[in-house]
Amino acid sequence: MNTNDDSAPIEAESWPLREVDYAAVRQATHRRTVMKRAAHVASNSGKIAICIGVSAVCLSMTWWSWPGIIVGTGAAVIGIIEWMGGRRVKSGKAEATRLLAVNQLALFALVTAYCVFHMVTFSPEKAKAEAISPQVRSDLAIAMPDLQYSIDHAIDTWGTAITVGFYSLVIAASIGFQGGMALYYLSRRKHIDAWNRETPAWIKRLFAEMGL
């Protein structure tokens, strides 16, 4: 008769870990989850910035625009830094949170400079030239002079206000988003510090073996 019953419950006294060890594992799991989530956010944010930056550079080179090339290049560089910072956060580098926060402020400065440039350099005459090509304008002047006048009048009357309003909204949105992201990254530092300072080496080894 087989007396070894694998389904029999293991007595608590024979468990290799104590309750305090399980509590430490739960605490470490929470901190590790916070770190991985922050790393995931930074990685995705960086990839998006890289894609936007590269696309902006390509478009600006097609329809030559040196401000677009500068801004696109800056966005791509910021994206690379963001992606690298996310990898450092995942590996437990607490100082990476400050790098990511500063990187978000750099992105805000880049967006603001781009918006201010367009507000300052806006010209109704330039806008009218870009809105209607010379050939189309010539055709409209003959076929539909009233429509051409209406378009030009609208740009003269509302062009500056619309431009300033639009780019002001972009700046305001950037303040909220980039500022919020910077605060989010900074708030993750205490969790990384706690992970590095309080997590026992055997738990870190256990997580490493499990690919966590």
- Residues 53-57 have a mean pLDDT of 92
Beta strands of 75-197 (E only): which ranges?
A: none
The Cα 140–Cα 101 span in angstroms is 52
pTM (predicted TM-score): 0.78
Rg (CA), the chain: 28
Percent over 90 (pLDDT), the chain = 52
pLDDT of residue 60: 86
At 112-170, the pLDDT tens digits run 999 999 888 877 777 666 655 556 556 556 666 666 666 666 766 777 788 889 999 99
The Cα 183–Cα 197 span in angstroms is 22
pLDDT of residue 141: 60
DSSP at 1: -
The Cα 150–Cα 133 span in angstroms is 16
Token pair of 48 as six digits: 């998006």
Contacts of 49 (CB under 8 A, 6+ apart): 75, 76, 78, 79, 82, 107
CB 195 within 8 A of CB 32: yes
The Cα 28–Cα 206 span in angstroms is 11
Among 173, 163, 52, 64, residue whose Cα is nearest residue 116? 163
- Residue 1: which pLDDT band, with cuts at 50, 70 and 90? very low
Average pLDDT, the chain: 84
Q: Where are the domains of the chain?
A: 23-201
Cβ-based neighbour number of residue 89 at 10 Å: 30
At 68-126, the pLDDT tens digits run 899 999 999 999 999 999 999 999 999 999 999 999 999 999 999 999 998 888 777 77
Instruction: Give per-residue burial for 173-191: e unless 16+ CB within 10 Å, then b.
Output: ebeeebeebbebbeebbeb
3-state secondary structure of 65: coil
At 40-54, the pLDDT tens digits run 999 999 999 999 999
Token pair of 194 as six digits: 């706690």
